Amino acid sequence: MEHGTLVTVIGNLDLNYHGVSSSWLESTLESFLVEDDVITPEFFGTVLLVRKGNFDLTFTSVRTRWGTSIVQSVQVHEGTQTTLVTGPYLIHYGRLWQVLRLYDDVQKAFLVTLRPRLDGTFTCLNDGEHGWDCLSVAVQSRLHFQGGSSDLRKYRIAVKDAFNISGVKTSMCNRAYFRLFPMATSTAIAIAGLIDRGVQVLGKTKLSSFLSREEPSESVDYQTAWNPRGDGYQGPGGSSSGSAVAVAAYNWVDVGIGTDTNGSIRRPAQCNGVFGLRISQGVFPSTGMFTVFKRFDVPGIFTRDLNVLTDFAMKWYAAELVAPAITGLPLKLVVLSDNMPTESTPQKQAVMSIVQDLEAYLEIPPIRISLENLWASNPPDDAKGEKLYDFLQEVGASTFLYENFHSGAHFRDEYRKKFQQNPFVSDFVQWRWKIGEKYTLDQFNEGIRRLDVYKQWWLDTVLETGRMNTLVVMQSEEVKPNYRDDKAPGYYIQPAWHPWWISPILGAPEVVVPAGHIPYVSRITGRMEQLPVMASLLSEPSSDLNLLTLVRCFFEHAGRSPVVQSGKVMFEETDIEEIPSTPWEPVPSG
């Protein structure tokens, strides 16, 4: 190579290890090609062994199939710290440099891509502010992160641009916000813990501006990320969409981190066909994370692999969560019928096939519950006779939109003060703010009281906490084509009885899992394409690890794939969940 020599470093060799041979070298290099997406055979011409103590080099021949011609060893004395880890390097003028691979962000999921510095901060490789049509994302070799004190080091993550990262500006996908505020001087607490444990942060991803529900046709300042599923022209589902797209599109991204207020993890997981987890409330302080309703706002996780989701969540936070005492309690399986169509649609059949498999796995009959009817037959005393929908009628606006408006006050005031003009925000965000501005603090407090009543009723009557170990299955919204150039739907206030409000009200974990595909004829491609169908599973607050473990074991027992692939479809045709030809219903509640 004209400007240096490509070299492979093999580190962490055992003390007094005598098994080094040409056959060992060849099998080791072959395994690197399987395990890693950065190293290539071009690095195998020179191999550098990093050893502790003494061992004998017994190479009778070093000419592997890749033409290895030089093998050298470097001795590191016991107790010596070295940053020379296994992976691909470049020798340039006598110095070793780590080699990273650049991937193009062809789905435009990222706003800025990052490279870590030795001091723990980050430098921006490139960003959307400067008009690059396609960002490049630098990834380190997976071989660098083998072993070590934290297994989290092996994960490459994409972080929603609602979290501060020290030395990087936060945009909230709004140019005025990006212009106003300087680089962050500290990192959000939820993300700082990951960085401290060696997780590889690849960059910050796009979102709906100010955590709003925003369709592609409404995205003005920054173009919405491109959902890879189906015909490639489907909407990615709103607020945390960039992180979901990164996971759905790229095998080189392991985990996407987003936030969820009332659907911002769960809807993108549905639209992009990936596993999604809204975590329990109160795990992390909101410091450094943009919020619009602190009572609801939590981080969340996207992955293509259920085992990765479980492992990452456990090591990030769930293992330290004080779980409720549910071991040994009778199991209860609930299916919410409120948001399911009465007719047997393909989507409903796919979701109900999950319920059918759960019935077989848990060996209990599912109970179908209509929240409206259950409230009518067993209302809380504090409802004072009001029907469920009447009781919650104003709550969405008087709580969520009230705080949404007030959470933006600092931004609006500081922008006007600095630039003597109003900032640009989308019509939908302005509409939300105008509604939230109308409500008083007394109305907000009354709305919170009603949320508390509804929460307690749910805990006592639906989940039966302390008496039952309950799993709730839900279908969120109708799955149908939602093209990027479709006119945005009319504005509406999401009601507090919507399924996306249940886990935020309870502060409970909710996991989104694949149920199958629905075929449709795309008006873009003129071909039959596939849309993801997902189901949501919910359990009581702080039971995150129990929920994930149960779901993982259930998938294994039912023979359901715990992994979705990247690209157009979640599964190859032979792996697509077969939708039953006749409808199946659970046992109604008594």
539-561 pLDDT, tens digit each = 999 999 999 999 999 999 999 99
What average pLDDT does the chain have?
Answer: 89
Of 79, 98, 117, the last residue of a domain is 98
Kindly state whether residues 88 and 105 are assigned to the same domain. no
pLDDT tens profile 165-222 = 999 999 999 999 999 999 999 999 999 999 999 899 999 999 999 999 889 999 999 9
Token pair recorded at residue 2: 């004209």
Of 269, 298, 320, the last residue of a domain is 320
Closest to 303 (Cα-Cα) out of 257, 367, 336, 359:
257
Judge whether 505 lies within some domain.
Answer: no
Q: With a cut of 70, say whether residue 500 has pLDDT above it.
A: yes
Kindly state whether residues 132 and 280 are assigned to the same domain. yes
- pLDDT above 90 covers what percent of the chain? 73
Judge whether 80 lies within some domain.
Answer: yes
Closest to 222 (Cα-Cα) out of 194, 251, 242:
242
Residue 388, burial from CB neighbour count under 10 angstroms (0-12, 13-18, 19+): buried
Kindly state whether residues 296 and 221 are assigned to the same domain. yes
What is the distance between the alpha carbons of residues 301 and 225, in angstroms, rounded to a whole number?
17
Judge whether 559 lies within some domain.
Answer: no
Classify 121 as helix, strand or coil.
Answer: coil
Kindly state whether residues 242 and 299 are assigned to the same domain. yes
pTM of the model: 0.93
What is the distance between the alpha carbons of residues 336 and 503, in angstroms, rounded to a whole number?
13
Judge whether 306 lies within some domain.
Answer: yes
Between 470 and 19, whose confidence is greater? 470
Query: What does the DSSP 8-state code read for residue 153?
Result: G
What is the distance between the alpha carbons of residues 328 and 374, in angstroms, rounded to a whole number?
26
- Work out how many domains the chain is built from and give that number: 2
User: Scanning the structure block, which residue is given the tokens 């919910």?
Assistant: 538
Helix, strand and coil percent figures for the chain, each rounded to 5 = 35, 20, 45
Q: Which domain holds residue 262?
A: 100-320
CA 324 to each of CA 30, 344, 509: distance values in angstroms, whole numbers, following the listed order: 47, 36, 12
Kindly state whether residues 14 and 143 are assigned to the same domain. no
Kindly state whether residues 233 and 125 are assigned to the same domain. yes
Closest to 279 (Cα-Cα) out of 506, 71, 439, 61:
506
Q: With a cut of 90, say whether residue 585 has pLDDT above it.
A: no
**Do 369 and 462 form a contact (C-beta atoms < 8 A)?**
yes
**Do 513 and 534 form a contact (C-beta atoms < 8 A)?**
yes
Kindly state whether residues 77 and 146 are assigned to the same domain. no
CATH code of the domain covering residue 288: 3.90.1300.10
Of 320, 344, 360, the last residue of a domain is 320
- What is residue 128's predicted lDDT score, i.e. its pLDDT? 57
